[in-house]
Amino acid sequence: MQKSVGKNAGRHRHCLLVLATLGSLFSLAFTGAAFAAISGPCSECHTMHNSQNNQPMTFNSSATPNDTLLKATCYGCHAQGGASALVTVGADTIPQVFHTDTIDLAAGNFAYITGLKGSGASDSKGHNISDLTGIDNTLYAPPGGIVQYGHDDGVTVNTTNLSCAGDANGQHGCHGNRYSGEAGYKGIRGAHHTNLGGSLDPATTDEDAGHSYRFLLGVKGYEDPNWQYTTSATDHNEYFGRSTPIQLGCATTSCHGIGGVRPPDGTMSQFCATCHGNFHTIANGASNGIGPDAVSPFIRHPTDLSLPATGEYAAYTTYNVNVPIARIT
């Protein structure tokens, strides 16, 4: 991706139609309001002994200490269940993915799944993070997996082991180094301190999740500084995409790279494909994908495909936050 990625990309006509619904997993980046590495005193997030005046220092008042001297887990920081989508701790602002605020961030809101917000609880309203929302009572394997062993059958990732980050102890997360051998927030170890923010273009050899879009290892893009709490045609996240879709699969273009599972070209669509590949690949073996080729891939909604500047698309001249698109530069 060129360094020209910016917030006005929606004005460019050469853009990409990307079905990369972010769902509730895709914005747990714990960054400061200026989208840089976290700031402030260490004691805002860490404690040496989990005790002060005979009281625990954890955010949930638990006497059980957390790993890496943290006061809270991913959920304790980002899923507090309060009334605001943004929580301030000292000098830092923490985006929430479980709350009752009328405004939802780009990540979505797990509260719709549990019924804390919305019209009632339903497993179909988002990703079911087992430790937060409970397991999905209908699905086992991720829907739309590429038809091959371990990808469409729930052998590797399933609704009983889906977590926020890392990969260990029978859990599999989206954020950080997947297949890292470290569970939970250990899988994003150090990312809050190395987060670059803004325009992100990680090298294929870069294993630091803090250098990737929203700690999604290998994903390129532009991070909106307030996680889309405010939005407009010039105030939004940006996603990187290809002009044409490709054939994905272990025998073709593999998603297994340095640091674990990652999108081969850095697109959001390819990241989603690591679990839901049949919705994002050109037909491959037993998977019919989005279509047989890049000319007319319309068995399913096409992804990583250029949006024409003619016909019904000609009027799309200004970025629409309700119809997000990606770009190739």
pLDDT in tens, the chain (329 residues): 433 344 434 333 333 433 333 333 333 333 334 456 788 888 888 988 888 888 888 888 888 888 888 888 888 899 999 999 999 988 889 999 999 999 999 989 999 999 999 999 999 999 999 889 999 999 998 898 888 887 888 888 888 888 888 776 667 888 988 876 666 667 788 899 999 888 999 999 999 999 999 999 999 999 999 999 999 999 999 999 999 888 888 878 888 888 788 999 999 999 999 899 889 999 887 788 888 888 877 888 888 888 888 998 898 888 999 888 898 88
Q: Can you give the pLDDT at residue 87?
A: 94
User: Residues near 118 by Cβ (< 8 Å), separated by ≥ 6?
Assistant: 111, 112, 125
Question: What value, to the nearest 5°, has the Cα angle with vertex 155 and ends 273 and 78?
Answer: 60
**Spatial CA neighbour of 256 closest among 277, 240, 238, 283:** 277
Torsion, Cα of 292, 296, 300, 302 (10° steps):
110
Instruction: Give the CA distances from residue 229 to residues 29, 30, 56, 91, 202, in Å, rounded to whole numbers and listed in that order.
Output: 14, 15, 32, 18, 25
Residue 215 to residue 237: CA distance in whole angstroms: 14
| Backbone dihedral angles phi then psi of residue 139, each to the nearest 5 degrees | -95, 155
**Which residue, chain included where needed, has tokens 């939970």?**
184
CA-to-CA distance for 261 and 174, rounded, in angstroms? 9
Task: Identify the pLDDT of residue 169.
Answer: 65
pLDDT of residue 29: 37
Predicted local distance difference test score (pLDDT) of residue 80:
93
Tokens of 321: 């936050």
SS3 breakdown of the chain: % helix, strand, coil, rounded to 5?
Answer: 15, 15, 70
Rg over CA atoms, the chain: 20
| pLDDT for 265 | 94
Q: What 3-state class would DSSP assign to 168? A: strand
Q: C-alpha distances in angstroms, 15 versus 12, 41, 236?
A: 7, 42, 15
b or e along 207-220 (b: 16 or more beta carbons within 10 Å of the residue's beta carbon)?
Answer: bbbbbbbbbbbbbb
Contact 187, 75 (CB under 8 A): no
Confidence (pLDDT) at 20: 36
Predicted confidence at residue 60, as pLDDT, reads: 80
Rounded to 5°, the CA angle 324-327-329 comes to 155
CA–CA distance, 106 with 25 (Å, rounded to integer)? 10
Angstrom distance (rounded) from CA 113 to CA 117: 8
Indicate if the alpha-carbon torsion angle 21, 23, 25, 26 is positive or negative.
positive
Q: What is the pLDDT of residue 313?
A: 87
Tokens for 226, please give them. 């307030």
User: Residue 52: its pLDDT value, please?
Assistant: 84
pTM of the predicted model, to two decimals?
0.84
